[in-house]
Structure 1
Amino acid sequence: MQKQTPPFLYGEHYLTASIALNIVRGKQKGIISSLSREKINQNRQVVHNIVEKGDPVYGINTGFGPLCTTSISKEETKILQGNILQSHSVGVGSPIASDIAKLMMVLKVQSLAKGYSGIAEETLDRILWHIDNDAIPQVPSQGSVGASGDLAPLSHLFLPLLGLGNVSYKGEVLTTSELLSKVQLKPLHLGPKEGLALINGTQFIAAHAIKVIERLHNCLAHADIIGAMMIEGLQGSIKPFFKELHQLRPFKGNIHVASRIKSLLQGSEIMQDHQYCDRVQDPYSLRCMPQVHGASRNAWLHLKELLEIELNAVTDNPIVIHENLTISGGSFHGQPLAMAIDYACLAASEIGNISDRRIYLALEGNSPGVPKLLMKNTGINSGYMILQYTTAALASENKGLCFPSSADSIPTSLGQEDHVSMGSIAGRKALNVIENVEKILAIELLTAAQAFEFRKPLKSGIILDEIHQKIRTKVSFAQQDRVFADDIEEGIKMIKNETITSLVHQIASREKLSLETPYSQDFEVY
């Protein structure tokens, strides 16, 4: 019998990208512990006491943003909270992916369950119902400037609490009123501070950052494996991956990449066949993989470390510490993640950039035994020439997308919010870049496999040989031109489905091979 994963306790346990993804995918259940519920209820009572006393506290009995000096009567405080969700629901564009919207809800519950936001227990329970029953609100992709948090997308996310907006449920999109009628639930009536607690925060940015962490991690792992196969195909040297070199410049990412690639090349007949050749060094796209892939690894690690702080932070405003201390601050500002996501976006683009260079290198025909354009009978056949046009186009598109969103700021809220992060744009853009990198790596996978074929009957190490065999079950060796778009689609599926990386782990486990490095733990998604 499979051992069940213990439930995650919102507000009490430490949330990571991996745990959040597990909750979204139904692999782990998230619940609010009795300890957290006690804190939530105590904090809620503090908000009620503030309303009763009548002392002005931002967002509880005042207006929002530039209306912060407008007093709101005790009777109107509840109307105010429902109004803010409606007035701030101004998003445009296609809805974000359902898994990202669900991640937003998971992250919001974690933040609110800390007990500093004045939220009602019943409101959190309704959000949990949406998570547990896969009733996912439709959230437009555009409209957030990343401070005061992700106002527009979070407003759309929580409109269903009021019986408004649209929801994806059991394969169809329903109005919330249709959904509530189906499941026999009623809309909620938000109390003082609740609307503001729901829509202030960085959950749109952070949810995108989680997907960046996951998908970029997959690209980085594939880049090392495919790069190693390309080294074999083009008879590159193993020496640039020796630990003696990288200990003299000990960046974590460089050491990790060099160690992984060296392990993949270990025991290779291809390597032994040319160890005494007269070539003294390889082009940078082969030789400098530890430095380039490693730099992107370091950027990934930086984002992961900052993201984990954010996932366990309270990011709404104001923060209710106790009855005599309510702080209107700026923890909703997305700048800490925005800058790191922009850095990760550049890191992803560079993985695609150097991959395109290796593809070009493979086509030149300068490696002994490997024909120009990776095909013997060229002239009548164009070989793999045009595949590199596609990677050049994708790499160029990515360079245009690398302008840092966090470098921009346009004042909003009549100047009250005079500096914003644009982190929401950074998150969406980074995922676009990663999508392109997945396609570039898929094409490098095909060209590396084609070059690798020309080394037969020599064998590589057991891992790369089995990877090559796996590729050949999906894409055959090309002796003449064909519709390569079909091959590319197969390659993209292998990258996205983690076919290659999963196989590497299976082989390493079966053969008792260690691919661990001094920094393996750092470069895992926890």
Structure 2
Amino acid sequence: MPLVSTDTGGTRVALDGRGLDLPGLVLLADAVAAPFVPPEALDRAHRAWDTMARLAAHGRLYGRGTGVGANRSVPVEAGDETEHGLRLLRSHAGGAGPLLPARQVRAMLAVRANQLLAGGSGIHPSLITALTEALRRGVHPAVQTYGGVGTGDLTALAQTGLTLIGERPWLAAATDTARAPDVDRGPTRPAAGTDAAPAGLPAPVTLRAGDALALLSSNALALGQAALAGHAVAVLLRATHAVAALSLAAVAGSPEAYAAPLHALRPYPGPARAAAEVRRLLELPDRPVTAGRRIQDPYGFRVFPQVHGAALEACDALRRIVEVEINTPTENPVLAADGHAYHHGGFFAAPLGLALDGLNLALLQTAQLSAARLSALGRADLTGLTDFLATGPAGSSGTMILEYTANSALAELRSCAAPASAGHAVLSHGLEEAAGFAGQAARQTRRAADAYATVLACELVAAVRALRLHRAAPPVPALALAAAVLPPDTEDRPLTGDITTATDLLPLLAEL
């Protein structure tokens, strides 16, 4: 069965617990595709619910017959399991900070529905159906930024659970910046001054024994945020090939560092791909002959394949981990294929957090090279043009300010590269004495992507100007695309509009 299908009803993405990929998840988050659940996936969830109910009837299960965290050994009285679950949702819905954007919450809903369809939670299938209905109807719960530490997005999923059972309001995309409702107990209404969610909301779900912890046991929010941030970075990394290629042409750089035989000697896939993309975009042969003015170029040009290639590999690694996690039952306890329920630590998001930290560090490295190339474009000895590509009277500044703007954004990138996984927390009476902080790392990746786009846009503005000033610029598609929209005038003037235009160009360059 295809994961993404198109029919008369538009694009649909399958949520089956096994085959959701990152592009499909992004389509759901952006509301340009609707979810559908294959019958066999829902049947799997029904069987898991039946099996977990039988196991719970014959022995205590964490969170169903006991308290949670440091209360793990406190038994829940017989007949109180459902009310215990309701208390879990209410007590754990303690998130704080700004409301998250709709697309991040939609990504969380899609991840959680797909994980639950893997059949390891024993949750009642009606909650899964409600999650997918919310995606289909374009509504989402009010979810706040702070609450997860990489051991389960407890506050976000508790807020989601209370919304599913009707204790919190659904929001439409237009209301996701509203103040979150302050919920302790009982029904709530949308905050004053906000629009109500559209008609046709998912019907409130009846909470059953075991449902609460089954819903909470996931890093679905961090995974959704990581998927969106990783997708944004992947687009920028592809665009970088075009920008770096234009800069190389602008300084008449040596293509030897991009030769295919060279990269065959050190067969890392990332550097080989980066070099091949630059050759392709500049229409160079696999064995290019040096035609530049220098035997060797500065590092910004010469080590681009190695540094940028590492970022490509880090981005690929993040995607692999996200796609494993969103198709994996992470609940604690989890129902395994052998029919037994196991208590475990599979919800601990160390792989995700470390992959995000690695990508943030790699992105910083390639951003520093972009800033270095930008500086090179302002040097007359490297371009054969004027300093800072200025064309006005003596003392004109030209593109000088772009270095300042790029390095300001680079400072933000450097802050985002501080590993979130180096953090530490001791919680719940010391029972949970570590944390992965994957959610924090995902937020850093999102900020890093925005900052990197600015650095790259500054380089693009300078590269296009330099190539315009050269008498014989290479007739390549990347230059034609950029030159068609970037302003041609080179007198001293504000360059903010140029940077904005260049930023908007990056996704288009990524598709070349």
* Fold equivalence (TM over 0.5): yes
What is the CA–CA distance in structure 1 between the aligned matches of 2:429 and 2:250, rounded to whole Å? 60
Shift of the alpha carbon at 1:373? 0.8
Partners of 1:323 and 1:248 in 2: CA distance: 47
Could you tell me which residue of structure 2 aligns to residue 388 of structure 1?
403
Structure 2 residue aligned with 1:201? 218
Aligned to 1:466: 480
Kept in 2: contact 1:233–1:454 (CA 8 A): no
* Equivalent position of 1:165 in the other structure: 168
Which of residues 196, 205, 212 in structure 2 aligns to 1:188? Answer: 205
Is 1:293–2:304 an aligned residue pair? no
CA contact (8 A) 2:250 2:383 kept: no
Which residue in 2 is equivalent to 1:41?
Answer: 46
Give per-residue Cα distances to partners, 1:331-381, cap 9 Å, x unaligned. 110101100110011112222211111111111221353210111225452
Say whether residues 1:423 and 2:438 are aligned partners.
yes
Supply the AA of the counterpart residue of 2:101: A
Q: Which 10-residue stretch deviates more, 304-313 or 252-261?
A: 304-313
Task: Find the aligned partners of 1:416 and 1:172 in 2 and give their Cα distance.
Answer: 38
**Matched residue, 1:519:** none
CA 312–184 in structure 1, closer or farther in 2 if over 3 Å, else same: closer
TM-score (norm. length: structure 2)? 0.90
Does residue 1:438 correspond to 2:453, yes or no? yes
Secondary structure of the 1:460 match is coil
The partner residue of 2:15 within 6, 10, 17 is 10
- Do the aligned residues in 2 keep the contact of 1:150 with 1:204 (CA within 8 Å)? yes
2:246 match: 229
> What are the superposed Cα offsets for residues 76-102 of structure 1, whole Å, 9 maximum, x if unpaired?
111111211111111111122211110
Quote the residue 2:103 is aligned against. Answer: 99
Superposed, which structure 2 residues align to 1:46-65 within 5 Å?
46-53=51-58, 55-65=59-69
SS at match of 1:94: strand
Residues 168-220 of structure 1: per-residue CA shift (max 9 Å, x gap): 21623587656689437653231111111111111122112211221111111
How much has 1:12 moved relative to structure 2? 5.1
1:361 alignment counterpart: 376
Matched residue of 2:97: which SS? Answer: strand
* CA distance 1:119–1:223, shift in 2 (3 Å): same
Q: 1:480 aligned to 2:484? A: no
Q: Give the Cα–Cα distance (whole angstroms) in 2 for the partners of residues 485 and 454 of structure 1.
A: 21
Contact 1:220 1:351 in 2 (8 A): no
Kindly indicate whether residue 376 of structure 2 is the aligned counterpart of residue 373 of structure 1.
no
Over 3 Å counting, the alpha-carbon distance change for 1:300 and 1:323 in structure 2 is: closer
Match among 339, 357, 360 for residue 342 of structure 1: 357
8 Å CA contact 2:89, 2:212 repeated in 1? yes
Per mean C-alpha deviation after superposition, the further-off stretch among 30-39 and 246-255 is 30-39
The one-letter code matched in structure 1 to 2:260 is K
Q: Which amino acid letter does the alignment assign opposite residue 207 of structure 2?
A: L
Query: 2-side partners of 1:368 and 1:324: how far apart?
Result: 68
Q: Aligned in 2, Cα 1:185/1:353: closer, same or farther, shift over 3 Å? A: closer
Instruction: Output the amino acid matched with 1:159.
Output: L
Instruction: Give yes or no for the alignment of 1:121 onto 2:132.
Output: no
Are the aligned partners of 2:11 and 2:32 in contact in 1 as well (CA < 8 Å)? no
Deviation at residue 464 of structure 1 after TM alignment? 3.3
Cα offset, 1:7, TM superposition: 4.5
Gap change, CA 1:116 and 1:323, over 3 Å in 2? same
Q: Which residue in 1 is equivalent to 2:185?
A: none
Q: Alpha-carbon deviation of 1:448?
A: 0.7
Q: Which residue of 2 aligns with 1:500?
A: 509
Structure-1 separation of matches of 2:67 and 2:470 = 72
5+ residue gaps, structure 1: 505-526
27-36 or 432-441, which moves further after superposition? Answer: 27-36
**Superposed CA offset, 1:268-302 (max 9, x none):** 9xx99x82x55211111011111111111111121
**CA shift in 2, pair 1:50/1:318, >3 Å:** same
Aligned residue identity for 1:226: V
Q: Which residue of 2 aligns with 1:508?
A: none
Q: 1:237: Cα distance to partner?
A: 1.3
What is the percent sequence identity of the aligned residues?
22
SS of 1:207's equivalent in the other structure is helix
Q: State the SS of the aligned residue for 1:415.
A: coil
Alignment check: 8 A CA contact 1:81 1:193 kept = yes
Aligned counterpart, 2:27: 22
How many Å apart are 1:402 and its aligned residue?
Answer: 1.2
Match of 1:88 among 85, 92, 117: 92
Cα distance in 1, alignment partners of residues 116 and 145 from structure 2: 23
CA 1:486–1:185 in 2, change beyond 3 Å: closer, same or farther?
closer
Q: Which 10-residue stretch deviates more, 213-222 or 183-192?
A: 183-192
Which residue identity does 1:464 align to in structure 2? Answer: A
CA pair 440-323 structure 1, distance change in 2 beyond 3 A: closer
Q: Distance in 2 between matches of 1:278 and 1:123?
A: 66
Q: Equivalents in 1 of 2:201, 2:440: separation in Å?
A: 37
Question: CA 1:345 to 1:185, structure 2 compared with 1: closer, same or farther past 3 Å?
Answer: closer
1:318 aligns with 2:333: yes
Q: Is the 8 A contact 2:371 2:407 kept in 1?
A: yes
Q: Which runs of 5+ in 2 are unaligned?
A: 182-187, 191-195
**Partners of 1:449 and 1:241 in 2: CA distance:** 21
Deviations 1:136-155 (A, max 9, x none): 112111121111x1112222
Q: C-alpha displacement at 1:113, in angstroms?
A: 0.8
Query: Is the 8 Å Cα contact of residues 375 and 383 (structure 1) preserved in structure 2?
Result: yes
Letter in 2 for 1:353: Q
Distance 2:130 2:253 in 1: 58
Report whether the alignment pairs 1:263 with 2:266: no
Relative distance call for 1:85 and 1:201 in structure 2 (3 A) is same
Amino acid at match of 1:463: P
Aligned to 2:184: none
